[in-house]
């Protein structure tokens, strides 16, 4: 129940979101993650609010920090101090993984370039996350999520229309870079089993955004079409999107001609009518399809419409607010809300990890997912313990 990375030691030098998210993912998998923070202030996100818990007291904690630092320990080191640098060297000697997201060149200036790290620990896997890449004409640029969303083309695909570019409602460039980074670390750890040596894994916010262009990317590279934002409807499938009904809206997806025919049968529509008989025709006449369906849905509440769609076997769903998501029994059944005990805040509920693990056996599957999650650490809460350990 301790996780597949039990026994792996991760030294996390990162701050803000991309690197800490990678560290949290590794911690969720059972790794021991030691978060190295600046004395006094700590990770930048400790000050990102509101909202804060205990906003006026010495025990103030940012909910932003709490979102991305579970299953970690905190130690404070001043990387400009020779004594603290030696403690970091000792951590590196013992570590399996080092995470950093300084601007390119910063770690070298602090005396921990890749050559030094390799000398300290040839088996070390280093994850290095930057804004726009570690080389190239703009490799030194600072990286911030919304800027990367714009520079990477994602905002041009998001919004009500081509003249309304919108950022995604979460810092998706940071989160994706962290996810790709953790994925790269796992691959490097597997390769280390074969070679006995570590390596450097590099990714960036730009790479993470381009990495999820999916069909919009090949739409340009292969077909020569530049995708543009078009609101809540799919550019290549129709009907697929959000449809208004009495007192609300519902999302539905007809990803095949069979589903289109089921939908039409349920609501008394002609599936073979001119202009809507094939997916290509429906994409070309999307506004006509939307008008046709919303007219058929006009007298149905969202609950009534969802029941009809479910009965017809057409994939559909609500647009939930976050309080509805975390109160939904399906969310709870998947372990996506976890209970932790914070050192100063007491009992907390946090969003849980998105992976579950199962071991097959003669009597069926046994879940082996990690259950004992630790709350995000108070700044420097493991100072004495870790310093004592390093001195042995």
What residue ranges define each of the domains in the chain, with the CATH number in brackets? 9-214+373-391 (3.40.50.10540), 240-317 (3.30.1540.10)
Kindly report the average pLDDT of the chain as a whole number: 96
Catalytic, 12? Answer: no
pTM of the complete model:
0.94
Render pLDDT for 120-157 as a digit per residue (tens, 0 to 9).
999 999 999 999 999 999 998 989 999 999 999 999 99
pLDDT (average), residues 45-65: 90
Angle in degrees, CA 57, 61, 67, rounded to 5: 170
Phi, psi of 201 (to 5 degrees): -105, 125
Q: Which residue has the higher pLDDT, 391 or 295?
A: 295
Q: Report the distance separating Cα 119 and Cα 133, nearest Å.
A: 24
pLDDT of residue 79: 93
Render pLDDT for 243-279 as a digit per residue (tens, 0 to 9).
999 999 999 999 999 999 999 999 999 999 999 999 9
Is 11 in a helix, a strand, or coil?
strand
CA nearest to 113, candidates 123, 121, 105: 105
What is the DSSP pairing of strand 97-100 with strand 9-12?
Answer: parallel
pLDDT (average), residues 335-339: 96
CB atoms within 10 A of CB 358: 11
Catalytic residue among 174, 323, 339, 372: 174
137: its two tokens: 């004409």
Question: Is the pLDDT reported for residue 64 higher than 90?
Answer: yes
Burial class (CB within 10 angstroms; exposed 0-12, middle 13-18, buried 19+) of 131: buried
Q: Report the distance separating Cα 357 and Cα 355, nearest Å.
A: 7
63: its two tokens: 């909910």
CA distance to 7, 132, 201, per residue, from 3 (Å): 9, 33, 23
**Helix or strand (DSSP H, E) at 386:** helix 383-391
Dump the DSSP string for 260-322.
HHHHHHHHT--TTSTTTSSHHHHHHTHHHHHHHHHHHHTT--HHHHHHHHHHHT--EE----H
């Amino acid at each position: 129940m301790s996780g597949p990375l039990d026994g792996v030691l991760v030294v996390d030098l990162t701050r803000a979101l991309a690197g800490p998210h990678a560290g949290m993912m590794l911690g969720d998998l059972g790794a021991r993650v030691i978060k190295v923070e600046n004395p006094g202030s700590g990770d930048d996100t400790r000050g990102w609010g509101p909202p804060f818990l205990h906003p006026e007291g010495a025990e103030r904690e940012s909910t932003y920090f709490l979102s991305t630092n579970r299953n970690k320990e905190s130690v404070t080191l001043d990387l400009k101090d020779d004594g603290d640098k030696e403690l970091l060297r000792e951590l590196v000697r013992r570590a399996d993984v080092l995470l950093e997201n300084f601007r390119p060149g910063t770690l070298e200036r602090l005396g921990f370039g890749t050559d030094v790290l390799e000398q300290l620990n040839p088996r070390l896997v280093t994850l290095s996350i930057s804004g726009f890449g570690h080389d190239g004409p703009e490799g030194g640029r600072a990286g911030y999520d919304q800027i990367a969303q714009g520079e990477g083309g994602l905002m041009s695909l998001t919004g009500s229309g081509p003249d309304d570019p919108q950022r995604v409602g979460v810092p998706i460039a940071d989160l994706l870079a962290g996810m790709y980074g953790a994925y790269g670390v796992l691959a490097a750890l597997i390769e280390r089993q074969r070679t006995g040596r570590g390596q450097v894994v590099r990714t960036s916010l730009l790479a993470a955004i381009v990495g999820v262009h999916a069909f919009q990317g090949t739409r340009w590279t292969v077909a020569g079409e530049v995708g543009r934002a078009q609101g809540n409807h799919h550019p290549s499938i129709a009907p697929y999107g959000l449809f208004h009904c009495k007192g609300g809206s519902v999302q539905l997806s007809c990803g095949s001609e069979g589903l289109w025919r089921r939908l039409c049968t349920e609501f008394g529509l002609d599936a073979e009518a001119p202009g809507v008989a094939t997916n290509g025709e429906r994409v070309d006449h999307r506004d006509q399809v939307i008008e046709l369906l919303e007219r058929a849905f006009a007298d149905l509440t969202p609950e009534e419409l969802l029941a009809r769609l479910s009965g017809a076997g057409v994939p559909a769903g609500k647009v939930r607010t976050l309080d509805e998501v975390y109160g939904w029994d399906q969310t709870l059944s998947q372990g996506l809300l976890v209970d932790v005990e914070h050192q100063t805040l007491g009992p907390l509920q946090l969003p849980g990890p998105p992976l579950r693990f199962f071991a097959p056996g003669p009597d069926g599957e046994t879940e082996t997912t990690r259950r004992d999650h630790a709350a995000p650490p108070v700044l420097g809460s493991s100072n004495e313990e870790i310093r004592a350990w390093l001195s042995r």
